[in-house]
């Protein structure tokens, strides 16, 4: 019997380590005939901790939301009763959700042990690099990537082959292969899960990229806030080196390739490739003018190719399964699959991987399970702080680079922050703009000062001090910032504001002219009232009010003094008769 415990960051946070330790103790104390293994996140973060048990017949039983006490019951059933416990098994609905996905990037996550290279090799791992080195020239490798139609999965979707070919054509040496694992978008954790669950697919993809462009060194730039990812990635690098898959004369060929990790300090701007290069060189992460592009003058002024984690994790699959297999999925201009991180007001939070071209509705409702508490879907933020909010009327938009861009958002790295009817879109725009303002490197006046001015206007609107012309001023500032900023951070920072104005202009107007927040979130614009026909005079609201703003005798209708009220909402929470409302 094999017992496999999901130990990605999400599983560990949910208590998987305690479950793993308990199983370890049970096996030792009771001399159980069972092996204990770990794996990464399978994507169903909302069901963690997840434990797979493969019985002696080879049948897999998946248990979800497991606690140590539950695990004891499960083990007793398998070892003493000689049959699987039916309680706590994954539901048929959740199995259907898994079946609706097509996994290429996440093909091994939640299946193999990320700390054991043999597990990866058993899936065909490192077969792709052997094929490339022994059967193909670097230009042929680039041609295969071109035929696959793979586009960068970290931002604007630039053709991967084009970047590789530009570095290959450069005559200068040395050359460098760099992986951007700086994943900084709020709500995005795709790269982290790949690094934690299948680090070898990234390593193999980088080796292939290095062979294609003629690089002999690879650097993985990963944010220091991913400690587990860094640990597992370093183990994988060490194991690959011991196997002769990294280092000098790989697989007995003339090709040598070294790899190392650089832990970044968590600056969002370092997701921009020239800022990332500056950070690698020991400088402050600030963007540089392009051209020259990194493929000509990158790390230490040498030809450098930069791809993100998800892009590189696709590479081994493409070479093992054929470029045509990858190109057969997706749409005409957006090939293959895409991984998305579903967060926010969604039932089934976690990672999903789906073919390009699927609609937002299918992802959010069929796979994501819809909105929590059966509330109304309002919008989804795509592309992180650089993206935009897509409203409910565009739910049937196909997920491909061009269609998403037409909405005013971008594909980005794949974050999807789902919002419901209780989300204030003005406040949401403020949240993302505040993030980019803080993360601005300060090099450009338009970005450094412009985002600050925009944030000041949004704060005024939210606090009930908005005025006529504020919306137009926000739009004008947005255009100036996009035109005058040097890098992608400033050029896209206004997107959340522009898309919320475009699709939710009425909310801005209600904030400014009516001094009301339709979603009931902006405290300064809230007004609490007690309904006469529902108040029974129980006095509970008055007793809970921290500033004595509620007056009234027992068994008589109570009244809220608006001047005293601090709008904390304690009265509404306390009322059992739904007599307190937000006006």
Q: Is 137 exposed, middle or buried (0-12, 13-18, 19+ CB in 10 A)?
A: exposed
Residue 97 in any domain: the answer is no
| Pair 284, 274: CB distance under 8 Å | no
| Pair 108, 197: CB distance under 8 Å | yes
Q: Dihedral of CA 203/4/40/149: which sign?
A: positive
Whether 157 and 72 share a structural domain? no
From 327, 346, 370, the end of a domain falls on: 327
**How is residue 244 written in tokens?**
């002769």
Q: What H or E segment, with its residue span, contains residue 260? A: strand 258-264
From 420, 448, 464, the end of a domain falls on: 420
Whether 134 and 250 share a structural domain? yes
Neighbouring residues of 543: CB distance < 8 A, sequence distance ≥ 6: 574
Give dist(CA 28, CA 44) in Å, integer: 30
Neighbouring residues of 374: CB distance < 8 A, sequence distance ≥ 6: none
Closest CA to 462 of 433, 425, 436: 425
Neighbouring residues of 86: CB distance < 8 A, sequence distance ≥ 6: none
Residue 108 in any domain: the answer is no
Whether 181 and 285 share a structural domain? yes
pLDDT of residue 471: 97
Neighbouring residues of 550: CB distance < 8 A, sequence distance ≥ 6: 530, 541, 542, 558, 559, 560, 561, 571
Give dist(CA 501, CA 238) in Å, integer: 51
Give dist(CA 555, CA 424) in Å, integer: 36
Whether 578 and 458 share a structural domain? no
Q: What is the pLDDT along the chain (583 residues), one digit of tens a residue?
A: 999 999 999 999 999 999 999 999 999 999 999 999 999 999 999 999 999 999 988 999 999 999 999 999 999 999 888 889 999 999 988 888 888 899 999 999 999 999 999 999 999 999 999 999 999 999 999 999 999 999 999 877 899 999 999 999 999 999 999 999 999 888 889 999 999 999 999 999 999 999 999 999 999 999 999 999 999 999 999 999 999 999 999 999 999 999 999 999 888 999 999 999 999 999 999 999 899 999 999 999 999 999 999 999 999 999 999 999 999 999 999 999 999 999 999 999 999 999 999 999 999 999 999 999 999 999 999 988 889 999 999 999 999 999 999 999 998 888 899 999 999 999 999 999 999 999 999 999 999 999 999 999 999 999 999 999 999 999 999 999 999 999 989 999 999 999 999 999 999 999 999 999 999 899 889 999 999 999 999 999 999 999 999 999 999 999 999 889 998 899 999 999 999 998 8
Closest CA to 372 of 406, 348, 338, 407: 348
Tally Cβ neighbours within 10 Å of residue 583. Answer: 8
pLDDT of residue 154: 83
pLDDT of residue 190: 93
β-partners of residue 62 are: 52
Whether 248 and 383 share a structural domain? no
Which of helix, strand or coil describes residue 85? Answer: coil
From 293, 327, 361, the end of a domain falls on: 327
Mode of pairing for the β-strands spanning 528-530 and 580-582:
antiparallel
Which of helix, strand or coil describes residue 352? Answer: strand
Whether 122 and 168 share a structural domain? yes
**How is residue 457 written in tokens?**
């206007």
Residue 567 in any domain: the answer is yes
Whether 413 and 429 share a structural domain? no
Q: What are phi and psi of 19, to 5 degrees?
A: -65, -45
Q: Residue 498's domain is classified under what CATH number?
A: 1.20.1440.230
Tally Cβ neighbours within 10 Å of residue 186. Answer: 14
Give me the domain span that covers residue 489: 425-514
Q: Residue 21's domain is classified under what CATH number?
A: 3.40.30.10
Alpha helical stretches, state H, 408-538: 425-439, 445-462, 470-484, 488-492, 495-509
Give dist(CA 3, CA 48) in Å, integer: 15
Q: Residue 395's domain is classified under what CATH number?
A: 3.10.20.600
Neighbouring residues of 173: CB distance < 8 A, sequence distance ≥ 6: 214, 302, 303
Residue 358 in any domain: the answer is yes
Q: pTM of the prediction?
A: 0.92
| Pair 508, 499: CB distance under 8 Å | no
pLDDT of residue 265: 86
> What's the count of helices (H) and strands (E) in the chain, helices before strands?
23, 17
Q: Residue 294's domain is classified under what CATH number?
A: 3.40.50.11540
pLDDT of residue 126: 98
Provide the b/e sequence for 215-244 (b: ≥16 CB within 10 Å).
bbbbbbbbbeebebbbebbeebbebbeeee
Give dist(CA 324, CA 101) in Å, integer: 19
Query: What is the DSSP-derived secondary structure letter of residue 247?
Result: B
Give dist(CA 332, CA 213) in Å, integer: 27
**How is residue 484 written in tokens?**
């005058």
pLDDT of residue 104: 96
Which of helix, strand or coil describes residue 519? Answer: coil
Mode of pairing for the β-strands spanning 304-308 and 217-223:
unpaired
Residue 110 in any domain: the answer is no
Residue 226 in any domain: the answer is yes
Whether 309 and 431 share a structural domain? no
| Pair 156, 406: CB distance under 8 Å | no
Give dist(CA 187, CA 175) in Å, integer: 34
**How is residue 428 written in tokens?**
């949401």
Q: How many CA atoms lie within 13 A of 414 on its CB side?
A: 28
Mode of pairing for the β-strands spanning 2-6 and 35-39:
parallel
Whether 321 and 345 share a structural domain? no
**How is residue 349 written in tokens?**
């939070």
Whether 314 and 445 share a structural domain? no
Whether 416 and 432 share a structural domain? no
Q: Residue 540's domain is classified under what CATH number?
A: 3.30.70.20
Q: Is 73 exposed, middle or buried (0-12, 13-18, 19+ CB in 10 A)?
A: middle
**Number of domains into which the chain is organized:** 5
**How is residue 96 written in tokens?**
């259907």
**How is residue 317 written in tokens?**
């699959």
| Pair 537, 555: CB distance under 8 Å | yes
Q: Measure the N-to-C terminal CA separation of the chain; round to a whole number of Å.
A: 60
Residue 100 in any domain: the answer is no
**Integer-rounded Cα radius of gyration of the chain:** 27
pLDDT of residue 412: 84
Residue 209 in any domain: the answer is yes
Whether 186 and 38 share a structural domain? no
Q: How many CA atoms lie within 13 A of 373 on its CB side?
A: 7
């Amino acid at each position: 019997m094999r017992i496999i415990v999901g130990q990605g960051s999400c599983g560990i946070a949910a208590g998987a380590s305690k479950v793993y330790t308990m199983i370890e103790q049970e096996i030792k104390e009771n001399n159980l005939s069972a092996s204990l293994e770990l794996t990464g996140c399978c994507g169903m973060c909302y069901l963690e901790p997840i434990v797979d048990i493969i019985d002696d017949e080879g049948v897999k039983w998946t248990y979800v939301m497991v606690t140590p006490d539950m695990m004891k019951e499960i083990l007793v059933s398998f070892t003493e009763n000689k049959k699987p416990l039916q309680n706590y098994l994954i539901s048929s609905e959740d199995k259907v959700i898994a079946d609706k996905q097509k996994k290429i990037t996440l093909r091994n996550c939640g299946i193999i042990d990320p700390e054991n290279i043999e597990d990866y090799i058993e899936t065909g791992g490192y077969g792709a690099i052997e094929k490339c080195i022994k059967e193909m020239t670097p230009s042929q490798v680039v041609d295969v990537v071109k035929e696959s139609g793979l586009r960068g999965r970290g931002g604007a979707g630039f053709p991967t082959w084009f970047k590789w070919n530009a570095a290959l054509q450069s005559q200068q040496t040395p050359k460098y292969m760099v992986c951007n694992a700086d994943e900084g978008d709020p709500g995005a954790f795709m790269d982290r899960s790949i690094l934690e669950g299948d680090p070898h697919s990234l390593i193999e993809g980088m080796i292939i990229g290095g062979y294609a462009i003629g690089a002999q060194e690879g650097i993985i730039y990963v944010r220091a806030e991913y400690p587990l990812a860094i640990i597992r990635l370093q183990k994988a690098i060490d194991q690959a080196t011991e196997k002769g898959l990294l280092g000098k004369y790989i697989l007995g060929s003339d090709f040598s390739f070294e790899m190392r990790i650089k832990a970044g300090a968590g600056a969002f701007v370092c997701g921009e490739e020239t800022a990332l290069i500056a950070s690698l060189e020991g400088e402050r992460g600030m963007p540089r003018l392009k051209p020259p592009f990194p493929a000509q003058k990158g790390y230490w002024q040498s030809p450098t190719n930069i791809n993100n984690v998800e892009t590189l994790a696709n590479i081994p699959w493409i070479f093992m399964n054929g470029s045509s297999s990858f190109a057969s999925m997706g749409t005409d201009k957006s090939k293959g699959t895409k991984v998305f991180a579903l967060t926010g007001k969604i039932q089934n939070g976690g990672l999903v991987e789906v073919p390009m071209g699927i609609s937002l509705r299918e992802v959010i409702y069929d796979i994501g399970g819809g909105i929590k508490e059966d509330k109304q879907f309002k919008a989804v933020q795509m592309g992180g702080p650089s993206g935009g909010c897509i409203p409910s009327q565009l739910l049937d938009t196909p997920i491909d680079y061009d269609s998403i861009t037409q909405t005013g958002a971008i594909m980005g790295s794949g974050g999807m922050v789902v919002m419901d009817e209780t989300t204030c879109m003005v406040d949401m725009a403020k949240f993302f703009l505040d993030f980019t303002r803080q993360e601005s490197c300060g090099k450009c006046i338009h970005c450094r000062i412009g985002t600050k001015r925009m944030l000041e206007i949004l704060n005024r609107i939210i606090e009930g001090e908005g005025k006529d012309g504020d919306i137009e001023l926000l739009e004008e500032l947005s255009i100036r910032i996009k035109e005058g900023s040097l890098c992608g951070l400033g050029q896209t920072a206004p997107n959340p504001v522009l898309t919320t104005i475009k699709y939710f202009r009425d909310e801005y107007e209600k904030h400014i002219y009516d001094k009301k927040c339709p979603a009931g979130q902006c405290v300064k614009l809230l007004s609490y009232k007690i309904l006469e026909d529902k108040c029974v005079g129980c006095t509970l609201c008055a007793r809970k009010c921290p500033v004595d703003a509620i007056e009234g005798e027992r068994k008589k209708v109570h009244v809220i003094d608006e001047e005293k009220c601090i709008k904390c909402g304690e009265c509404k929470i306390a009322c059992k008769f739904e007599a307190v409302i937000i006006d």
